[in-house]
Amino acid sequence: MSASAVKTKGAAFQPVAGASGEKLLEVRNLSKFFPVGSNETLKAVNDLTLSIGKGETLGVVGESGCGKSTAGRTIMRLYEPTSGETLFNGRNIYKMRGSELKTLRREMAMVFQDPYASLNPRFNIMDVIAEPLDIHGIAGSAKERRRKVEELLDLVGLRPEHAARYPHEFSGGQRQRVGIARALAANPKFIVCDEPISALDVSIQAQVVNLLQDLQKRLGLTYMFIAHDLSMVKHISDRVAVMYLGKMIELAESSELYANPKHPYTQALLSAIPIPDPLIEAQKERIVLSGDLPSPIHPPSGCPFRTRCPFATEKCAKEVPDFREVKDGHWAACHYA
């Protein structure tokens, strides 16, 4: 556990920094609210605290609308936070300005969900991938620029001749490889992968995940991997955080969380993962949640999950559960976990 604890209600939450023991990124009580109308607020991310160790992959899962993508974008400072801190190598990124902020932009990158919308259709692939090189002045000449782009194409499994083509000439999987190459161009240490496989065919998803893992090993990268496909998250993540209605409700090592989920919401998510064997699938007990995700503008009192939880009691309506360590390295926000 880290030496500096971040206080949550009634407990000190000390997130593990990953296998290396060195924290690359630390998020402290981060919130991102959006104004709605004249006097209402949408609480997209609400008091999020976590850390990611060097070389680690933290998976972040939850239903659409739970705040996971907003969290990733706020950590990247694509959104300014409402409150809280994000420390990168011990430095608060929200206080950075000028050259310090530009240096940070080289060290952090993002792979976006939609490979169709995230590439400029007017740029050929050479210019798409070289954009970070141009912005940061990394390539000193046109020859070096071309060489670096061709190296990046090779790194993601594409060919040098692809540099002259345009995004519309590629498949979804190839476009996402281009997006990954662009993210790698400035040699970052940390990459937020915002649902990088959700827009791809199932047959291509595993290829992209395997590529990301291979790149992590070769380049020493650290990932925040946001997804709603829990089977893929298990494959790539060292630890997994589960979000619901803007809050983190469970955090554990990947193998522990999938084998022994403590929060009823996590249990329901995992029960929905299909099993290839039809005999086992037919016998599996699935937890079906009633209702829809509540509005983040008017969240329920007490536990945010209580309106859909099959085990909710009167206490759940009155008291917000502490995010507490229910087992060594396994944290959950549930009164009965």
Q: Residue 15 falls within a domain, yes or no?
A: yes
Residue 294 forms part of a structural domain? yes
Pick from 149, 108, 105: which is nearest to 130 by CA?
149
Name the strand (E) or helix (H) holding 170: none
Cβ burial 38-75 (10 Å sphere, 16+ → b, else e): eeeebbbbbbbbbbbbbbbbbbbbbeebbbbbbbbbbb
Is 17 within a domain? yes
Per-residue pLDDT at 283: 65
Domains in the chain: how many in total?
1
User: How far is it, in rounded angstroms, from Cα 217 to Cα 138?
Assistant: 23
Predicted confidence (pLDDT) per residue in 27-43, tens digit = 999 999 999 988 999 99
Place of tokens 């476009």: 175
CATH number for the domain that contains residue 239:
3.40.50.300
Where would I find the beta strands (DSSP E) of 151-280?
190-194, 222-227, 239-244, 247-253
Answer whether residue 157 is part of any domain. Answer: no
Instruction: Take residue 43 and report the two structure tokens written for it.
Output: 């609480």
Q: Specify the pLDDT at position 38.
A: 83
Q: Which amino acid is at 93?
A: I
Q: Is residue 169 part of a domain?
A: no
Taking the chain, what is the end-to-end CA distance rounded to the nearest angstrom?
21
Which residues form the domain of 28?
A: 6-99+108-117+190-199+215-332
Q: Higher pLDDT residue, 232 or 8? A: 232
23 beta partners: 53
In a 13 Å sphere around the CA of 194, the CA atoms on its Cβ side amount to: 22
CA angle 187, 192, 194 (to 5 degrees): 135
142-155 vs 172-184: helix axis angle to the nearest 10?
Answer: 130
DSSP string, 264-305: HHHHHHHHTS--SSHHHHHHPPP-PPPS-PPPSSSPPSSSTT
**pLDDT above 70 for 259:** yes
3-state secondary structure of 182: helix
Distance of CA 10 to the CA centre of its chain: 27
Residue 209 lies in a domain: no
pLDDT in tens, 73-122: 999 999 999 999 999 999 999 999 999 999 999 999 999 998 889 999 99
Predicted pLDDT of residue 273: 76
161 is written with which tokens?
């001749």
Query: Is position 143 within any domain?
Result: no
Give dist(CA 154, CA 144) in Å, integer: 15
Residue 233 placed within a domain: yes
Q: pTM of the entire structure?
A: 0.90
| pLDDT > 50? residue 7 | no
Reply yes or no on whether the pLDDT at 68 is more than 80. yes
| Mean pLDDT value across the chain | 90
